[in-house]
Amino acid sequence: MRAATYSAYSQDNSTLSVTDQPDPKVAPGTVLIEVRGAGVNPVDWKIMTGYLDGLMDVVFPVIPGWDVAGVVTAVGPDTPEFAVGDEVYAYARKEVVHGGTFAELVAVPAESVAAKPRSLDFVQAGAVPLAGLTALKALQRTWLSPDGAGKTVLIHGGSGGVGGFAIQIAKAAGARVIATASEPNHDYLRELGAEPVTYGAGLPDRVRALAPDGVDAVVDFVGGVEQDTLAVLADGGKHASVADAEVTEHGGDYLWVRPSHDGLVFLAELIDAGKVKVDVAQTFGLDSVGEAFDVSRAGHTRGKLVIVPTEQG
């Protein structure tokens, strides 16, 4: 199979190239997926700089990518959940950084896989897993529950990929959502259902102007905003961050999202019910993964970037 690979850590994309690799083995409890769409996330290019070297084993050459949507082409022994031809999507993070989704084929544990949302094409579905599950977990840790309607939630970084999912999931659960972004992105936040506020100096005053009694929950997708969070959090409120481990020193949760079949099923139900939309900004072929990383690193894209290794049928 063809795959985007790199063979050593690099501060840029100079070691990234398209190479021929052996087809993945299909172990018991796994499915082999023909990749039709694979979302790009900041962690993908951060791994190239050794970002996870202290946390996870790395086997070179590395194929990056943790998001995938595609068609099952083989199933391993004792994998009754899926069959050849199933249209699926997955958050395909594994214990070892090696065989990722920026390839024509990827083997994924069945418990990380779910049926693709029916209303999405493969490119759109490939943009969902990591960002959607991250948003869902952050909200579940802070307030999301069947009796969560009527809560006010502050989302730091509402215009990013994760933030956009979080706004829509929170609104679908009945919350009032306040979200931060630069002023050019305020109309976008309104389209998603949030009340926008500009981030930066004076943020607590702007949030308190909208919610004088404070907010019930805060989720942080940008980092460096812990003091602002504490300044607007109501008594008994909860907060979580995916970007700042220091939140644990102030009673918050620091999150790393896990693969979750159940979470993907939940997201697919919201998407197919029209409560969550997926915005794809740009697609790239395998030979343009480095370009996709450059666009992601620049941080100015609204919507998701997706690698498309195979022609869409």
Q: pLDDT digit string (tens) for 170-195?
A: 999 999 999 999 999 999 999 999 99
Report the pLDDT value the prediction gives residue 148, as an integer from 0 to 100.
61
pLDDT-based confidence at residue 146 (cuts at 50, 70, 90): low
Tell me which of 61-70, 138-147, 169-178 is least confident.
138-147
Integer Cα distance of 299 and 296 in angstroms:
5
* Domain-wise residue ranges, the chain: 2-128+278-307, 131-254
Report pLDDT for 170: 96
| CATH numeric code, 2-128+278-307 | 3.90.180.10
Helix ranges restricted to H, 48-185: 122-126, 129-142, 161-172
Share the mean pLDDT of the chain: 95
pLDDT confidence tier of residue 167, bands split at 50, 70 and 90? very high
How close are the terminal C-alpha atoms of the chain, in Å?
Answer: 19
**CA 166 to chain CA mean position, Å:** 10
Question: Which residue carries 């070179």 as its tokens?
Answer: 60
pTM of the model: 0.96
Q: What is the pLDDT of residues 81-127, one digit of tens each?
A: 999 999 999 999 999 999 999 999 999 999 999 999 999 999 999 99
C-beta separation of 105 from 32 below 8 A: yes
**pLDDT reading at 6 higher than 50:** yes
| Ramachandran angles phi, psi of 113, nearest 5° | -115, 145
Q: Which DSSP category does 13 fall into?
A: S
Asked whether the predicted pLDDT for residue 147 surpasses 80, the reply is no
**Residue 106 amino acid letter:** V
Banded pLDDT at 311 (limits 50, 70, 90): low
| Torsion angles phi and psi, residue 175, rounded to 5 | -85, 155
Identify which of 148, 308, 133, 167 has the alpha carbon closest to the alpha carbon of residue 216: 148
Q: Are 68 and 90 in contact (CB under 8 A)?
A: yes
* Mean pLDDT computed over 281-301: 93
How many residues are present in the chain? 313
Rg (CA), the chain: 19
pLDDT of residue 313: 41
Residue 273: the pLDDT is 98
Cross-strand bridge partners of residue 5 = 17
Check residue 301 and give its pLDDT.
81
16: pLDDT strictly greater than 90: yes
Is the Cβ–Cβ distance between 128 and 271 less than 8 Å? yes
pLDDT tens digits for range 179-236 = 999 999 999 999 999 999 999 999 999 999 999 999 999 999 999 999 999 999 999 9
Identical fold between 2-128+278-307 and 131-254: yes
CATH class of the domain comprising 131-254: alpha beta
pLDDT score, position 12:
83
pLDDT at 42 over 80: yes
H-helix or E-strand spanning residue 43 = helix 42-47
pLDDT given at position 11: 81
**DSSP assignment string, 246-311:** GGGGGT-EE------HHHHHHHHHHHHTTSS---EEEEE-GGGHHHHHHHHHHT--SSEEEE--S-
